[in-house]
Chain A
Amino acid sequence: SQTIHQWPATLVQPVGSPLSLECTVEGTSNPNLYWYRQAAGRGLQLLFYSVGIGQISSEVPQNLSASRPQDRQFILSSKKLLLSDSGFYLCAWGTERPTLHFGNGTRLTVT
């Protein structure tokens, strides 16, 4: 069966510090991978998606970047965090029939 792992679960970082969130998927090959951000009172916002190694599409220009160094690994990064980067970050993988399977998220607080 397929599983998705996302870590860390919570993170508190000062403004201006770097960020690296990691997501890995097991039990499937060449999945579509997604990073979403969920702000309080708002719907999930797609940040990045990837259909293959090294292929990244950005939906919203911002202070973040994503990379896919391996088939089942997806990384969300920032060189310098802003206060507005605080939120709940969700990684997901999807199939051709578009069911999204989410990780348990990372709660990021930028102080």
Chain B
Amino acid sequence: KNQVEQSPQSLIILEGKNCTLQCNYTVSPFSNLRWYKQDTGRGPVSLTIMTFSENTKSNGRYTATLDADTKQSSLHITASQLSDSASYICVAYFGDKLIFGTGTRLQVFP
């Protein structure tokens, strides 16, 4: 069964701290994986795209990793800011289809 699971479901951290969000996917044939950021009441916005051959990709304070063998991806946020408070959604692409994870809700407090 094709599925994407994210953990934790929610996370609270203090401003300036780092955090890591996890995504486990089971899709075939795997094409690529994307992380989206969704602010409350807004549509998701793409952060990074990871293809099968890529292990690490950075976008500012966001670093995504991909392990195609274990079918795991992580999103690491460095020096968190209040504006990082949002839901982070992992999306796995297989063929011309895609599956969304349920997201991790991150709250950054001052």
Contact = CB atoms under 8 A, between A and B. Distances in A.
Interface of A: 6, 9, 41-44, 90, 92, 98-105, 107
Nearest to A103: B43
Interface in B54-75: none
Given A43-B89, A44-B100, A98-B98, A105 B42 contact: yes
Contacts of A90: 43-44
A24 to B, nearest CB: 14
B102 A43 contact: yes
A55 to B, nearest CB: 15
29 contacts: A6-B43, A9-B41, A41-B102, A42-B102, A43-B4, A43-B99, A43-B100, A43-B102, A43-B103, A44-B100, A90-B43, A90-B44, A92-B43, A98-B93, A98-B96, A98-B98, A99-B34, A99-B46, A99-B49, A100-B44, A100-B46, A102-B43, A102-B44, A102-B45, A103-B43, A104-B43, A105-B42, A105-B43, A107-B41
A37 B45 CA distance: 16
Dominant SS among interface residues on chain B: strand
Interface residues of B, number: 19
Interface in B73-110: 89, 93, 96, 98-103
Chain A interface, >50% SS class:
loop
B14 to A, nearest CB: 25
Contacts of A44: 44, 89, 100
Interface of B: 4, 32, 34, 41-46, 49, 89, 93, 96, 98-103
A15 B44 CA distance: 28
Contacts of A104: 41-43
A90 B43 CA distance: 7
